[in-house]
Amino acid sequence: MKEPYLTRFKQLILSGSASRDIHDAGDGPGAPGRGGERASAAFLMREVDRVRMHTAGLCVLLADHIATAAMVLDVGCGTGGTTVALALSALAPKQVIGVDADVSTLEAAEVRALGHDLEPQKVSFQHVPAGEPLPFASASFDLVTCVSVLEFITLPAARERFIRELLRVLRPGGYLFLATPSPFRLRDYHSHRFLGDWRRTPGHPWATPPWVIARWLHGHERVPLAVYRVRRRRALRFAGPFAGLLQWAFPWQQWLVIRHEESRSESGAGTG
């Protein structure tokens, strides 16, 4: 990110942008992502580095499975790390739109995009309050990405509605990429609480079990990522036959699905 945008971006992060993750309920004492806290140096560096991180990870995965994506929507874009990385990726999108529930975070995202010479015609950001429908027509996008958002939605029923909304704005044949922590850990990914993914304390994130996500995505073609994810880790390349099991040892669930012409998810499945 070039100057003067890098300095302005750092100022916004230090002043509180990206400090809040749960937007649909009050945060409990000690919950991560509470507003009003000054960002640590480590948090600041992670925010600055997000474009490089997603360029090396997410964008490579998507480019290996998707040819191109003209219209891209990044839901829960935060400070725009994923959004900007997608705009600069081999997917060669014509337009990338990032949406988030935090207005101050979107200000930092706009500064980040300008710092990478991306004009608003190529990358833009919109505020969408938590729980509100996405302000786009059905079947508007070739690719919808959602990275580290689902675990911050408080109620299971709200999570299911959110998934249906992501699928609604995706064109038939388009791709949905979803990344959210795995619940198969003694401590949850974000707050490091012991068995936090199963205690589901208000004001704290918790991971959705994969079988519940699979039910919400039922009716759409799932792109198998297990072998791909295992083989990308040099130390695990021998373990191809066990890839389906090993993938759940990773800290993150990664889902890539192709939306079918008739979306069963929009007909209303049961919640988990």
Residue 271 has pLDDT above 90, yes or no: no
| Model pTM score | 0.89
Position 98 pLDDT exceeds 60 = yes
- Residue-wise pLDDT tens digits, 179-226: 999 999 899 999 899 999 998 888 899 999 999 999 999 999 999 998
Average pLDDT of span 121-145? 97
User: Residue 134 and residue 147: Cα distance in Å, rounded?
Assistant: 16
Q: What gap in Å lies between CA 247 and CA 243, rounded to an integer? A: 6
144-190: pLDDT as tens digits: 999 999 999 999 999 999 999 999 999 999 999 999 999 998 999 99
**Which residue shows structure tokens 């609604």?**
168
| Mean predicted confidence (pLDDT) in 5-12 | 96
Reply yes or no on whether the pLDDT at 240 is more than 60. Answer: no
**Closest by Cα among 18, 69, 66 to 46:** 18
Per-residue pLDDT, averaged over 80-94, amounts to 97
